[in-house]
């Protein structure tokens, strides 16, 4: 029924022939965010990334002053050094999704919101990229090297949560907060088949709805229909935020290839011990990765991790409950700092 309603709605909008203006991916300027152009990694082969990391990461990745980093305003600078915190966005999304919690996090941390190559607003995926999580982790780790971050507090949502956990496996995390991370399935499982099917259906809908994002998101009703899987409290999301989410998914360069590769992606291997403090945060109304089906494997992979359930919250909790999400993150990072000082 949902697909029928959405399809009819989109067909109606198409028949109305309302004028729409295409927007370039870089057109989303968000207050308090500085997104500077970076050197392209697409000129290098994916197989060369690891070699470049060990030799000269700046050859293919941004210098620290050129990176896509969320900056505090000049009036808030001058305090003692704040511990670095890295934000990793979901699949088919972008770095700007962290805007609802940015100000709160920046009071305690130097915040770096990294782009995953191949996504909206990011560099293209490098030549030879095989669309595996392992190679995505390689690319993000190379960005950490280029930024001079040996370790950082890591926060990721969905795909970003999975990447954060794998970075912790490599010793790059002071702590990890994973918001409804992907990867909670076995190859060939019903859970994986469901995720792949959902992504494919979404891609088909984006083919129709993506060009109409600016029109669809003017209506609160249509925003709720379009984003019902991503957010639970859709009445709280603003028109420009909704447009960003739709356009980011529509303009994701690697969408189809990444979904295709997901069928053979190895599941996360169990940890022998916790690499650092790890907290999982899940919304009770997550429709993309419902907690009962997609959390049990993570409980086996990281048996000593903490778990926090946010009531009435969806897959993108920073939009549904920004204050709760920021608190869940800062509770972890502040306690790690206190333990280190003790």
Rg (CA), the chain: 19
Active site residue 79: no
Distance of alpha carbon 219 from alpha carbon 226, whole angstroms? 10
21: annotated active-site residue: no
Instruction: Write down the catalytic residue from 93, 158, 214, 295.
Output: 158
**Residue 101 scores a pLDDT above 90:** yes
As a whole number, mean pLDDT of residues 266-274 equals: 97
Out of 7-11, 117-121, 262-266, pick the least confident: 7-11
Average pLDDT rounded to a whole number, residues 11-27: 39
Domains and CATH numbers, the chain: 31-185+267-341 (3.40.50.1820)
Q: 3-state secondary structure string, 25-67?
A: HHHCCCCCCECCCCCCCCCCEHHHHHHHHHHCHHHCCCCHHHC
Cβ contact 318:236 at 8 Å: no
Give the predicted TM-score (pTM) of the model: 0.82
**The one catalytic residue among 109, 115, 131, 315:** 315
Q: What confidence score (pLDDT) does residue 37 get?
A: 33
**What pLDDT, on the 0 to 100 scale, is given for residue 150?**
98
Catalytic residue among 234, 286, 295, 320: 286
Q: Is the pLDDT of residue 86 over 90?
A: yes
- Whether 162 and 133 have beta carbons less than 8 Å apart is answered as yes
Sheet holding 110-114, edge to edge: 110-114, 84-88, 152-157, 173-179, 277-283, 306-310
Is 286 noted as a catalytic residue in this protein? yes
Whether the per-residue pLDDT at 63 is higher than 80: the answer is no
Query: 80 pLDDT band (50/70/90 cuts)?
Result: low
pLDDT at 266: 96
Task: Identify the pLDDT of residue 310.
Answer: 98
pLDDT for res 342 = 79
58 pLDDT exceeds 70? no
pLDDT at 32: 31
Least confident of 16-25, 196-205, 242-251, 285-294: 16-25
In this predicted model, what pLDDT tens digit does every residue of 31-50 receive, in sequence order? 233 333 333 333 334 444 44
Task: Give CA separation, 251 vs 94, 156, 160, 313, in Å.
Answer: 10, 21, 18, 26
């Amino acid at each position: 029924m949902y697909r029928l309603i959405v399809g009819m709605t989109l067909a109606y909008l198409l028949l109305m022939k309302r004028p729409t203006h295409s927007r370039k991916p870089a057109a989303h300027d968000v207050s308090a965010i500085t997104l500077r152009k970076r050197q392209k990694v697409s000129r290098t082969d994916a197989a060369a990334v690891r070699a470049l990391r060990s030799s000269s990461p700046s050859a293919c990745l941004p210098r620290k002053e050129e990176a896509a980093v969320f900056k505090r305003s000049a009036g808030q600078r001058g305090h003692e050094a704040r511990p670095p915190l890295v934000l990793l966005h979901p699949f088919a999304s972008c770095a700007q999704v962290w805007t609802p919690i940015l100000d709160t996090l920046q009071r305690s941390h130097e915040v770096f919101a990294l782009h995953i190559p191949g996504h909206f607003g990011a560099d293209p995926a490098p030549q030879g990229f095989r669309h595996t999580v392992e190679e995505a982790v390689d690319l993000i780790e190379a960005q950490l090297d280029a930024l001079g971050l040996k370790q950082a507090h890591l926060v990721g949502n969905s795909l970003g949560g999975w990447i954060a956990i794998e970075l912790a496996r490599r010793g790059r995390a002071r702590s990890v907060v994973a918001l409804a991370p992907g990867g909670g399935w076995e190859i060939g499982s019903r859970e994986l088949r469901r995720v792949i099917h959902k992504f494919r259906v979404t891609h088909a809908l984006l083919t129709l709805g993506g060009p109409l994002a600016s029109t669809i998101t003017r209506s609160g009703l249509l925003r709720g229909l379009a984003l019902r899987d991503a957010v639970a409290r859709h009445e709280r999301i603003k028109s420009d935020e909704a447009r960003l989410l739709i356009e980011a998914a529509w303009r994701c360069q690697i969408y189809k290839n990444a979904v295709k590769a997901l069928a053979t992606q190895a599941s996360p291997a169990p940890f022998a011990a916790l690499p650092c403090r790890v907290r999982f945060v899940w919304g009770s109304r997550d429709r993309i990765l419902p907690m009962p089906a997609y959390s049990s494997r993570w409980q086996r992979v990281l048996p000593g991790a903490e778990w926090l359930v946010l009531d009435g919250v969806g897959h993108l909790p920073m939009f549904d409950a920004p204050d709760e999400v920021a608190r869940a993150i800062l509770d972890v990072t502040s306690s790690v700092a206190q333990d280190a000082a003790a």
